[in-house]
Structure formats: C-alpha cells, structure tokens
Amino acid sequence: MAALVVGVIAGGCVAPALAATDGVRPDATAAALEALRERQRVPALGAARFTADTIESLHVVGRRVADGASDDPEAALQPDDAWHLGSCTKSMTATLLALLVERGDLRWEAPLAQLLPACASTMHAAFRELTLVELLAHRAGLAAMTGPDPLFVKYATQTGTPPALRAAFTQELLAAPPGHPPRGAMVYSNAGFVVAGHVAEVVGRKRWEELIEELLFAPLGMTTAGFGAPGEPDELAAPRGHLEGAVVEPGPGSDNPAFLGPAGTVHASLADWIKYLQLHLRGVRGDVKVGAVTLKQATFARLRTAWRVPAAGGGVAAAADANAYGYGWLLPHRDWAAGDKLVLTHTGSNGMWFCCAWLDPAGGYGLVATTNTGSPNAAAATDGAVALLLQQRAAATKR
C-alpha cells in the first residue's frame, strides 16, 4: 500500500513574506506561482481566491506529471483538472450528515448505540453514549489511523464493498476499549470519520458515495467530483500523484482503500471544490437550499463551532486554538481575518497529493491551494500560494 495517511491538520499559512507582486494581473499571478512551484520543486500547483458568489482568481501552473516524466502534450495542466483532496473530504462528510439531520433522518444528540443498532449489543460501554459531535471533532477516543494501524491494515487488505467493510470495521472498532479517554483530548482520527460515514449509510440507506453525490455534489453542480485518484491509467487526461518523486498511476496503490472514503478520498477540480466551500460562505448570510434540503443558518453556525472540553465542576471550557476542531474543520484565529478573526481551515494528503483550504466567514472569502505530490515541499508550496493570493487581496482592498 503506497500511502496510509489521509490528511494532516496544521496551523498553516500565516502570510509569510513574499516578493512584492503587482497584484491581481493574471499573468503576474501565474508567473509568481510558477516561480514558487519551481522553487519548491513540485510538479504542479493550483491556487484560487473566491467569495461566496464569485471566483476572483484561479490559476494552475506546471504539468500533470513531473518535469521530464512525459513528452506527451497532454501533460500540460488544465484549469478544470481534478485534484485529490484528502482530508478536506472530512468537512464534506460532516456537511452530508447535516443534510441528513435537516432531512429528519437523525439527530446530532442521538447516541451511537441508538444510531447503530446492529453494533449495540457488542459496543463497548465507553462508546454507547457518544454522538456524531464527538466523532466529527476527534474526541471519541478512537485511534488516529494515520499510519499502519493493525485494524486499518486488516480492512485495507480485505475484499468486499466499501459499505460492507465500513460496517464490519465499525463493529469491530467500537467493540474494543477506546484507545484514549472519550470526550478528552483531541486525537486526530480517520477512524471516527469512517464510523460517521457508516452512520450516514445506516440512516440514509445508501452507500456514503451515493449519498454525498446525491445530496451534496449533484445539487452544487460539482460534475468533476469523484473518489480515489483522478483519471484513468491508460490516458493522461488528469494530473498524477507523485510519491517520493515517482509518478503514481491511477488504480491500486494510488489512494487509500475505498472504505476510508468518508475520511478522505474525494477528488474534484478547483472550481468544483470551491462550489462546496462557497456553500459555507453563503451559510453565514442565511439559510441555503441544497437540492431538496434546506441547510439552516443555525446549522452552518454549528458546522463552524469547535468542540468544547468539559470543565471541572460542570460547564465547558474553550479549547486552545491548536485543538479547536469541529465538524471536519480546524478553527483557529488569524489576524488577517475579519470580524472575530475566526477561520476554517484544513489540509489533505494521501502521501501523493497535498492541498489546503482557508475560509474567512466574517470576511466572506476563501483561499485554496493544491499540488500533486506529497513531498516535504508540498506544504510550503501550497502555503506560499495561499500567502500570495492573500497578499494580493490585501493590496487590492487598500486601493
């Protein structure tokens, strides 16, 4: 298995100093991104800045495969190419569950023993009263599974449909004692999002892949959204992931196993990914109809609320910014953000791709960046791209 990592949350970009640019001219932006790509030695780099209603800037530079890996003219990168989003899938799974809540299929406060009746008889007592809220904030006491965990490896090497594997994985996982005290310290856990995805399948009576396509991707017009590494192995019509500098063809070994989908296997073009992120910016302003379901403004507020640590003697205590997480988002504060300075952010990587997203809810805009390698330089490349667009925005607003 080529990769066992589905996303790394990070404090991320704090607008590091970059060479001055002349702002919003497309050719200048592309040139600055190309210089950054070459400096960080990544095959391709994409970045965009957007508001709730428009894309202000979207650029891709580089090639679908590493320099010199192909002379095929189709190796040239295209603006509508799809990128693997890794753990930036997690907020999508949380939003899918919000749609199921709004549709009346489940309640946020329902305990796991009630949501998963097939697991109730074998479920460890420590998990029975936990809810989706703990799962989606990495507070359920479950193993991280961002590396070669024995249970992960067991199900990664088994045959079966993703829903069947998720069901068996969930039952076995929740029957064992927790690895960490539930409702205690945050322990980043892919396993928790697999369980959450299985909950969606139980209450929605369809596989997670069908539900998220039907309730989220299709209503938003995300036509390039899919699962696993983008593209086909016999044609160079999409970027390739890169592992330790080597091109990884779509197919076996090009992504984590499909059962891990709710934790991080979605791919999409930058423009389609932005359609999803714009949904959250529009939700700051009011209710939003997504297909047949209306996500209420209060629900969007919930989706950008960090889990709170129970305080001694009752009540709750605010988590430190480094651990402020809820519903698939890290929720720190940044000086460059508007209003209360709260931002929503996440990174995603399966070891062969890397991306990051930033939303400023009060400011009404967001930024994304992505690259098709999981190399140590990937984070610096995407952070640099975000910083460039952030600086350009700041310069434009001063004019």
147: left (phi over 0), alpha (psi -120 to 50) or beta: beta
Query: Looking at per-residue confidence, does 322 or 110 come out higher?
Result: 110
Task: Specify the pLDDT at position 399.
Answer: 65
The set of residues, in sequence order, having a beta carbon less than 8 Å from that of 382 and lying 6+ positions away, is 13, 45, 47, 347, 354, 355, 356, 369, 370, 371
- Give residue 138's pLDDT: 97
**pLDDT confidence bin for 1, thresholds 50/70/90:** very low
Give whole-number Cα distances, 321 to 61, 333, 334, in Å.
Answer: 33, 7, 10
Question: End-to-end distance of the chain based on CA atoms, in angstroms?
Answer: 51
Burial label for 336, CB within 10 Å (0-12, 13-18, 19+), is middle
- If DSSP codes are grouped into helix, strand and coil, which group holds residue 165? helix
Q: What would the pLDDT profile of 296-309 be if each residue is shown by its tens digit? A: 999 999 999 999 86
> Shortest CA distance to 40 belongs to which of 394, 372, 392?
372
Rounded to an integer, the average pLDDT of 319-332 is 89
**Mean pLDDT for the chain overall:** 91
6 contact partners, CB below 8 Å, separation of at least 6: 86, 87, 146, 190, 256, 260, 263, 264, 265, 348, 349, 350
Q: For residue 226, give the 3-state DSSP assignment.
A: strand
Quote the pLDDT of residue 149: 87
- What was the pLDDT predicted at 10? 40
Residue-wise pLDDT for 32-91, tens only, equals: 999 999 999 999 999 999 999 999 999 999 999 997 666 677 788 999 999 999 999 999
Contacts of residue 194, defined as CB under 8 A and 6 or more positions apart, other chains included, come to 166, 169, 170, 259, 260, 262, 263
Find out whether 3 and 256 touch, Cβ atoms under 8 Å: yes
Q: What is the model's pLDDT at position 78?
A: 94
Question: What's the rounded mean pLDDT across residues 364-378?
Answer: 97
Cβ atoms of 162 and 176 closer than 8 Å: no
Asked whether residue 293 carries a pLDDT value surpassing 60, the answer given is yes
Residue 11's pLDDT is what?
Answer: 39
DSSP-derived secondary structure for 353-396: -EEEEEEETTTTEEEEEEES--STTHHHHHHHHHHHHHHHHHHH
Report the range of poorest mean pLDDT among 139-148, 239-248, 315-324: 315-324
For residue 24, with 0-12 CB atoms within 10 Å meaning exposed, 13-18 middle and 19 or more buried, which class applies?
Answer: middle
**Mean pLDDT on 12-31:** 54
Q: Name the amino acid, one letter, at 274.
A: I
The predicted pLDDT at position 18 comes to: 30
| pLDDT at 217 > cutoff 50 | yes
What pLDDT is stored for residue 27 in this prediction?
A: 82
Average pLDDT of 260-280? 98
- Number of other CB atoms surrounding residue 40 within 10 Å: 21
- pLDDT (0 to 100) of residue 323: 83
Q: Give the pLDDT score at 313.
A: 61
Q: Which whole number is the average pLDDT over 233-241?
A: 91
What number is the average pLDDT over the span 102-115?
97
Q: Is 7 exposed, middle or buried (0-12, 13-18, 19+ CB in 10 A)?
A: buried
> Which token pair is 82?
């799809």
Banded model confidence at residue 12, pLDDT cuts 50, 70, 90: very low
Q: Which amino acid is at 384?
A: G
Q: Tell me what the mean pLDDT of segment 214-230 comes to.
A: 98
What is the reported pLDDT for 144? 85
Identify the CA nearest to 50 among candidates 389, 373, 384, 365.
365
Q: How many CB atoms lie within 10 A of CB 386?
A: 26
Mean pLDDT on 345-369: 98
Task: Output the pLDDT for position 316.
Answer: 62
